[in-house]
Amino acid sequence: MEAEFLKGTFEQLLTGLPLTLELFVTSIVAGALLAGVLTLCRQTAPWPLRWVANAFVFVFRGTPLLVQLFLIYYGLSQFPAVRASLLWPFLRDPFWCSVLALTLNTAAYSSEIFRGGLQAVPSGQIEAAKACGMSGLQVFRSVIFPVALRQALPAYSTEVILMTKATALASIVTLRETMFIAQKLNAQTFRAIEIFLCAGLIYLVLNTAIARLIAAFEHWLSPHLRDAPAQPGPSPTMKLGAISK
């Protein structure tokens, strides 16, 4: 492996990192919002909405993300009504098609994670909050949401990291992110080991940083797991005085 080639490869791959981060952040934020709506529909909505939400989760968890991306990017353009609609300027753009596919996919998985977090909230805590005179909104804000978030965060962190790696699929629809540049370099030089090792290292560093941020957030949400501050004890002179008495 040549150091000069590895340096040049890193520099070229890093030019696609801003687009990778933009795709990741947009998809995660939109997916979390949609997952929250789906979770509420599955837990509290009337049965027609509950059935639609459950069907959505079932379909997008049961089919590959690559198939979903192909159906959105290549499949929707086959319908004249879609090409004539106001959404066509977005649906013909590979970035927004990738965002849509990633958002729908992570929303389905995140909804299941959030649902598990809500069900993990002890019913005794909810009843105690209601007995203290809290309203429904206060119970959700002060009891249900913090506890459910702490319960769901470890599993959701895994979903976030998986979505970071899933952004590499956007290269298939000609989006010039990190993996697209890696594939282009490999087609030009046929030096797959060096190129994809550099790409893998970039994703590894990115995922490590994300995992550390989520771990710090989880630690902040769990004050009961932190080390208690040391309590000041009696001085040695006080102890000797107490013994002499």
List the CATH number of the domain containing 140: 1.10.3720.10
- Please state, in angstroms and rounded to a whole number, the distance separating the CA atoms of residues 180 and 177: 5
The DSSP string of 5-41 is: HHHHHHHHHHTTHHHHHHHHHHHHHHHHHHHHHHHHH
Q: What is the pLDDT of residues 213-231, one digit of tens each?
A: 998 988 887 766 655 555 5
Domain count along the chain: 1
- Please state, in angstroms and rounded to a whole number, the distance separating the CA atoms of residues 148 and 122: 10
Q: Is residue 174 part of a domain?
A: no
Q: Is residue 70 part of a domain?
A: yes
User: What are the Cα distances from residue 114, in Å, to 127, 159, 237?
Assistant: 21, 12, 56
- Please state, in angstroms and rounded to a whole number, the distance separating the CA atoms of residues 31 and 187: 34
10 Å Cβ neighbour count for 26?
16
Q: Is residue 152 part of a domain?
A: yes
DSSP 143: I
Q: What is the pLDDT of residues 165-215, one digit of tens each?
A: 999 999 999 889 999 999 999 999 999 999 999 999 999 999 999 999 998
Say yes or no to pLDDT of 47 above 50.
Answer: yes
Question: pTM of the entire structure?
Answer: 0.86
Q: Is residue 191 part of a domain?
A: no
Name the pLDDT band for 138 (thresholds 50, 70, 90): confident
Q: Is residue 8 part of a domain?
A: no
Q: Is residue 117 part of a domain?
A: yes
For residues 64 and 20, the answer to whether their CB atoms sit within 8 Å is no
Q: Is residue 159 part of a domain?
A: yes
Domain residue limits at 22? 16-169+201-226
pLDDT at 227: 59
- Please state, in angstroms and rounded to a whole number, the distance separating the CA atoms of residues 244 and 166: 72
Q: Is residue 213 part of a domain?
A: yes
- Please state, in angstroms and rounded to a whole number, the distance separating the CA atoms of residues 203 and 209: 10
